[in-house]
Structure 1
Amino acid sequence: MKLLLARHGETDWNARGQIQGQSDPGLNETGRAQARALARRLEETGVPLRRLYTSPQKRSAETAAIVGACLGIEAEAVEGLREICFGVWEGHCWEEIAALWPHSYEAYAADRLRSRPPEGESYAELLERVLPALRKIAAGEGSALVVAHSAVIKAVLCHLDGADFRQINRLYPLGNADWVSLDGDRFL
């Protein structure tokens, strides 16, 4: 059984380089086109997707709705798939964050797994809710598509591979509407 983890389509915040976290912007026109293209690419893989899950946040839910309409599958929202909370950093780009919160940014850069942005959550905390959600999804029948967020997918990959979270963005580049395919047994 395959578990495909797809990132949502583009938002205006993505286009401007702003950190979204648990802020809730919807897709822009580019993001909607990316979602339609994602559905076409998924059809071309030949993986028989039987189930579709999504983060409840607008950008993921809208991506999943577009993909689901194309594939004839209804999406189910899963609370545990929400994006990481970046707290007061949300709405800012990384350069602004480094300038406005230099000490917390340095701590975060040194230990992304355990350090948290001010009023935010760590990757360890993110994994505490994401991994049980994915285990439940992986226990179902047939292959599934999960539409979620960049930090969610990268954190899962980093965890499964035992990689250094400080290297998360270098090791796991993931554009809007890109996906990774995993063996569902890795979650059971």
Structure 2
Amino acid sequence: MKILLIRHGETIANKTQLVLGTSDVPLTDLGRRQAKAAAQKISSMEPLPNLLFSSPYYRAKETAGYISKLTDLNPIYVDGLKEMNSGDMEGIKASEMNDKYPEYMSRWRRDHSTARPPGGETLGEVHTRAWKSILEIFNDYDEDLIAVVAHLFPIQGIICNVLGMHSNHFDKLAINLGSISSIEIEKDSYRLVSMNETVKID
């Protein structure tokens, strides 16, 4: 099974460097153009994806919607593909994290995978549930090509698992907004086919 991993397009939170996990925000004008460009690339593939999965958050649903229009695939929403729950840090500026949450940031610098924001979840938990969702899709559906729309941390977690990398090395994987990565999964083997392919937009 080949799986396309599509990161949603830009949101205002991405544009203004806000911590955003569970908040439901729409795409910006640029984000919609990114999503349309990704959808056009996917719709030109031969063969087309057989199934479309998505995080249920609006920015991912909106991105999946553009793919749906061009492929006639109805999105299947999967909770395990959600972005990291940032808890009490949700909505603050990234530049304020050190001042407002020094204990968490100290733990984060020591071990990304186990540091838990107040009221939120750890990066390791995000990576585990995202990978579990991918394996469930592989086991439940007998298809050659599927598309998955998700977020930065889940996609990085999936690729970390494919490569056998520890979650702490997630930041070595560049996954741009609106980008497409792809993996192949067989019964006992995983392979990264492409990563962070970004479609040029006008």
TM-score normalised to structure 1 length: 0.91
How far the C-alpha of 1:6 sits from its partner, in A, is: 0.8
How far the C-alpha of 1:45 sits from its partner, in A, is: 4.3
Are residues 1:162 and 2:164 paired? yes
Pairing of 1:76-115 with structure 2 (within 5 A): 76-115=76-115
Q: Structure 1 segments of 4 or more deviating over 6 A? A: none
Please tell me whether the aligned partners of residues 108 and 117 of structure 1 are also in contact (alpha carbons under 8 angstroms). no
Corresponding residue number in structure 2 for 1:144 = 146
Q: Distance in 2 between matches of 1:159 and 1:112?
A: 16
Please tell me whether the aligned partners of residues 54 and 149 of structure 2 are also in contact (alpha carbons under 8 angstroms). yes
Q: Distance in 1 between matches of 2:110 and 2:41?
A: 37
Please tell me whether the aligned partners of residues 51 and 142 of structure 1 are also in contact (alpha carbons under 8 angstroms). no
Pairing of 1:49-128 with structure 2 (within 5 A): 49-128=49-128
Aligned with 2:10: secondary structure?
A: coil
Please tell me whether the aligned partners of residues 85 and 121 of structure 1 are also in contact (alpha carbons under 8 angstroms). yes
Letter in 2 for 1:108: W
Aligned with 1:46: secondary structure?
A: coil
Corresponding residue number in structure 1 for 2:48 = 48
The one-character-per-residue Cα deviations of 1:68-112 (angstroms, maximum 9, x if unpaired) are 101221111111111111111221233210121112111012211
Aligned with 1:116: secondary structure?
A: coil
Corresponding residue number in structure 2 for 1:183 = 184
Corresponding residue number in structure 2 for 1:13 = 13
Q: Which runs of 5+ in 1 are unaligned?
A: none
The one-character-per-residue Cα deviations of 1:51-71 (angstroms, maximum 9, x if unpaired) are 000000000011001111012
TM-score normalised to structure 2 length: 0.85
Name whichever structure is richer in helix by fraction.
1
Aligned pairs, how many? 186
- Return closer, same or farther for 1:164/1:80 CA change in 2, 3 Å cut-off: closer
- Return closer, same or farther for 1:128/1:155 CA change in 2, 3 Å cut-off: closer
CA-atom RMSD in angstroms: 1.7
Q: Distance in 2 between matches of 1:77 and 1:66?
A: 15
Q: Distance in 2 between matches of 1:42 and 1:115?
A: 36
% same residue: 29
Aligned with 2:99: secondary structure?
A: helix
Aligned with 2:62: secondary structure?
A: helix
How far the C-alpha of 1:16 sits from its partner, in A, is: 0.6
How far the C-alpha of 1:158 sits from its partner, in A, is: 1.9
Please tell me whether the aligned partners of residues 5 and 147 of structure 1 are also in contact (alpha carbons under 8 angstroms). yes
